[in-house]
Copies of this chain bind each other. A is one copy, B any other.
Amino acid sequence: MPELRKDPVVERWVIIAKERGRRPTQPSAAAELPVSPNNPFCWGNEDRTPPEVFAVRRDGSSPNTPGWTVRVVPNRFPALQVEGDLDRRAYGRYDLMNGIGAHEVIIESPDPEAELSDLPPEHVADVVTAYIERLKDLRRDLRLRYHMIYRNQGLAAGANIRHPHSQLIATPIIPTMPKAKLDACLRHYRTTERNLYADIIHWEEEQEVRVVSRTDHFIVLAPYASRFPFELAIYPLRQCHDLPLITAAERLDFAVVLLDVLGRLKRALDNPPYNYMLFTAPSLTPRPGRPDFWGTIPDDFRWHLEIVPRLQQTAGFEWGTGFYINPVAPEEAAQFLREST
């Protein structure tokens, strides 16, 4: 019997339809994108990108020269641009504003054929450092309300270049999905004085069936109402609403758990295309006119990472309804990934 399950945070229903049976497959993500011959993300090509806004340079090299291990630059084809005013306005019944924001590329390695999942933990911790430093810097721009860090691996996940990279887009509005999560956490906290993610993690630790792995500081779950086969989420065990507030030990452990789970997916699903998305709190700096809009976030929200392998196409039913049909129960996915060592 298929099941209809509701996500306890964003209240999204999914259909877990194991009877559909087919284990979805997609081409391996690694081989399908060629390395660009004029790759702007290599050592020596630093002048082919806009000037860097952050880099990890263990050798003390100068900005915009070789020697970096992680480098952050503005996107040359940004979805949103930094210069200008928002100019919120109406057009008939419609609302619009200028596309003000930031769009940056976090180049994770100078090696165009490297894969994030094969880098050493210390290197991945440097990628996380780049996320943190860019969040801190971009939050000084009070026009920008939310900062989404994400990663597209493979053509089917929307990547169009092979060179390993993440992206950051800062938007002048808190987008629908993080807003839904923040709102749900606030509602739960107001009712119970408890943290919603803490409740979920506590329940999942008791149940065990959807736990994929665990480290000193993190737990990896196959979410109860997973939209996609082998969807995963990494949660910190300690209450912390915002990635930049993690300790150095947690940062390295996050690199370890991320490598662990990407390695499991790679082995179990033959290097699948995937997306990951970081959900962290919006800036808590008071803004004119809304001084305490997100007052209880440090207690009610918890930062986390969602990982979605892209093993099947979303189709008309999903676009039309907002429901998802998932042919692999998260309990099965978790077991398969636990055993994939």
A contacts, CB < 8 Å to B: 1-6, 8, 12-13, 15-17, 19-22, 77-81, 84, 91-99, 146, 148, 150-152, 155-159, 167, 169, 171-173, 175-178, 180, 199-200, 203, 207, 224-225, 275-279, 306, 308, 310, 312-323, 325
Contact = CB atoms under 8 A, between A and B. Distances in A.
B316 A80 contact: no
Contacts of A167: 316-317
A18 to B, nearest CB: 10
30 contacts: A1-B81, A2-B78, A2-B80, A2-B81, A3-B97, A3-B99, A5-B96, A8-B95, A13-B175, A15-B79, A15-B80, A17-B78, A17-B99, A21-B77, A79-B325, A92-B207, A93-B200, A94-B224, A146-B321, A156-B313, A157-B315, A158-B314, A175-B321, A176-B322, A178-B321, A180-B322, A275-B315, A275-B319, A276-B316, A277-B316
A322 B15 CA distance: 20
Contacts of A156: 313
A323 B96 contact: no
A306 B318 CA distance: 13
Contacts of A278: 320
A178 B320 CA distance: 7
A48 to B, nearest CB: 18
Nearest to A200: B93
Nearest to A323: B175
Nearest to A18: B99
B203 A92 contact: yes
Contacts of A6: 94-96
Given A1-B99, A3-B99, A17-B79, A199 B317 contact: no
Contacts of A84: 1
A96 B91 CA distance: 42
A313 B93 contact: no
A309 B141 CA distance: 36
Contacts of A173: 4, 13
A171 B312 CA distance: 21
A314 B316 contact: no
Nearest to A5: B96
B96 A152 contact: no
Contacts of A98: 1-4
Nearest to A146: B321
A270 to B, nearest CB: 19
Given A15-B80, A77-B20, A315-B158, A150 B320 contact: yes
Contacts of A322: 175-177, 180
Contact of A176 (B4, B15, B146, B321): B321
A12 to B, nearest CB: 7
- Chain B CB count within 10 A is highest, among A2, A91, A151, for A2
A24 to B, nearest CB: 10
